[in-house]
């Protein structure tokens, strides 16, 4: 037997419900655009303000914070993956803060009019496509088209179809992972809103805190995967071995020479 609450939940929670506007026959989600613009304006504003106030003398607190974050991430990336393109870490850190702000819009008590922009699959697909296309372009620029596309047939030519499918799937997994986790948070808030008025504030406050943590984790995962994709696409095969061989060529010496010198000194 279907309970009344189940009917209410089914009626209240709709997937993909947005405030829409048709412009030239193209349907746009004005609530997603509004929250995206808010998050984007904050990130751009912070960047412009930081660029204006940055100094080589006594830095401000925000400059110290930004330099510490970027420097730490750059150091970890260099230790784990070697040197990457200079724009990769700043791009990933910027994406992290932008996605975090998009996720945390849900904390504003106007969820119906300003939902999290990342709960709209159109935004997450757009972010994922920008990252993946940029990854391929950067890989081709660094390694050349022939060398870059040769990785599709490595380690065996028979794996070509699987490698192609893997590249096609990447933007979908990157986008849907972010969308699914943030959208589920919106569903939980809607469910909590159906509770009696005298108990709703308590689980809602707890879930809001939990939702903030999910927002941080998902923004971090997106930024981390961005770095990994750029690193894998631009990594040269045998670079480290070649550098190591050159270093050994300069530093190594024949131990027999030392033995010969000691023998001559003894005589």
**What is the distance in angstroms between the CA of the first residue and the CA of the last residue of the chain?**
105
Q: According to the model, what pLDDT value does residue 114 have? A: 79
Q: Which two tokens stand for residue 14?
A: 């709709």
Query: Mutual orientation of helices 88-104 and 201-234 as an angle, nearest 10°?
Result: 160
CA–CA gap between residue 34 and residue 42 (Å, rounded): 12
- What sign results for the dihedral spanned by CA atoms 8, 17, 221, 233? positive
pLDDT tens for 227-251 read: 999 988 877 433 443 344 344 444 4
pLDDT at position 221: 93
The answer to whether residues 193 and 109 touch, using CB atoms and an 8 Å cutoff, is no
Mean pLDDT value across residues 116-122: 88
Number of helices followed by number of strands (H, E) in the chain? 10, 2
**Whole-number pLDDT of residue 13:** 52
pLDDT, mean of residues 81-93: 86
Residue 216 has pLDDT above 60, yes or no: yes
- Domain residue spans in the chain? 12-266
Q: Residue 132: its pLDDT value, please?
A: 94
- Asked if pLDDT for residue 175 goes beyond 90, the answer is yes
Does 267 score more than 90 pLDDT?
Answer: no
Condensed to tens digits (0 to 9), the pLDDT of residues 59-80 reads 778 888 888 888 888 888 888 8
* pTM for the full predicted model: 0.74
């Amino acid at each position: 037997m279907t309970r009344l609450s189940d009917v209410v939940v089914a009626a209240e929670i709709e997937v993909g419900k947005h405030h829409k506007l048709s412009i030239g026959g193209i349907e746009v989600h004005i609530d997603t655009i509004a929250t995206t613009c808010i998050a984007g304006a904050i990130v751009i504003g912070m960047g412009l303000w930081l660029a204006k106030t940055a100094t080589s003398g006594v830095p401000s607190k925000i400059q110290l914070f930004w330099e510490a974050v970027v420097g730490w991430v750059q150091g970890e990336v260099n230790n784990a993956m070697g040197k990457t393109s200079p724009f990769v870490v700043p791009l990933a850190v910027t994406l992290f803060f932008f996605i975090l702000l998009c996720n945390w819009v849900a904390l504003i008590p106007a969820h119906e009019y300003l939902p999290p922009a990342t709960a709209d699959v159109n935004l997450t697909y757009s972010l994922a496509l920008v990252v993946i296309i940029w990854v391929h372009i950067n890989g081709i620029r660094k390694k050349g088209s022939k060398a870059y596309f040769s990785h599709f047939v490595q380690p065996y030519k028979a794996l070509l179809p699987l490698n192609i499918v893997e590249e096609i799937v990447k933007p979908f997994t990157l986008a849907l992972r972010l969308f699914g986790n943030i959208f589920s948070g919106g569903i939980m808030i809607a469910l909590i809103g159906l509770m009696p008025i005298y108990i709703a504030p308590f689980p809602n406050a707890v879930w809001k805190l939990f939702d903030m943590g999910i927002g941080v984790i998902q923004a971090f995962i997106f930024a981390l995967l961005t770095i990994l994709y750029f690193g894998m696409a631009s990594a040269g095969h045998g670079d480290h071995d070649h550098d190591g061989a050159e270093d050994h060529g300069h530093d190594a010496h024949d131990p027999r020479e030392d033995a010969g010198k000691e023998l001559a000194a003894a005589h």
